[in-house]
Chains A and B, each alone.
Chain A
Amino acid sequence: QVQLQESGPGLVKPSQTLSLTCTVSGGSIYSGSSYWSWIRQPAGKGLEWIGRIYTSGSINYNPSLRSRVTISVDTSKNQFSLKLSSVTAADTAVYYCAREACSASCYLRNWFDPWGQGTLVTVSS
């Protein structure tokens, strides 16, 4: 059973770069036709998809964050990572990683399962 775990600094200064890693256990990050996503949730608010990566290296970003986001994969470590540059207080949120499960072509029409437990990142000086 695949499990995901986020890790990284819980406090980042304004204008700096937020860096998080998601470690996949219980299965290979290569298994199946899976995309691996990052999603965030500000306190008391809704969910926002940040972007995703396929193990072939194909990447998609949310246009609202594209200029500041980089997602990468390290298949040797069974991990994928998120970098968000030039952060402000508006980027304070719980950040989740998740696998995109699917039943067909798997480029679209997926669903997020499972999710990591989430990690709170606060942007403050």
Chain B
Amino acid sequence: DIQMTQSPSSLSASVGDRVTITCQASQDISKYLNWYQQKPGKAPKLLIYDASNLETGVPSRFSGSGSGTDFAFTISSLQPEDIATYYCQQYDNLPPTFGGGTKVEIK
């Protein structure tokens, strides 16, 4: 299985801050990396697919980049409603696997 390592596991930032989460794959996965947001008690919600494509309806302050083994997810200006846990997920090979998650809190 392809291992996905996310960092940090948690972070605290102020409203308006730029926040970046990284995800590293244990092998080359090209661009086949997706990002999800999960709020407490809710199902994950797709934000970014194929590393950098913003899902329809998702605010433009969210973005993704990277290819190969190293990826980044950025919130350009953190908002109170962005408090959630964020997961990366690869689908270059079966089984699809997820990172351990990054919990984002407001300072």
Chain A interface (Cβ within 8 Å of chain B)? 46-49, 60, 62-64, 96, 101, 103, 108-118
Contacts and interface: CB of A to CB of B under 8 A. Distances in A.
A117 B36 CA distance: 14
B96 interface: yes
A103 B31 CA distance: 13
B45 A115 contact: yes
Majority secondary structure of chain A interface residues (helix, strand, loop or mixed): loop
18 contacts: A46-B87, A47-B44, A63-B95, A96-B43, A96-B44, A101-B46, A103-B50, A108-B93, A108-B94, A109-B50, A109-B92, A111-B49, A111-B50, A111-B89, A111-B91, A112-B46, A113-B55, A115-B45
Contacts, number: 58
Interface stretch (B19-27, B72-80, B97-105): B97-105
Contacts of B97: 49
A113 B46 contact: yes
Contacts of B43: 96, 115-118
Chain B interface secondary structure, helix, strand, loop or mixed?
loop
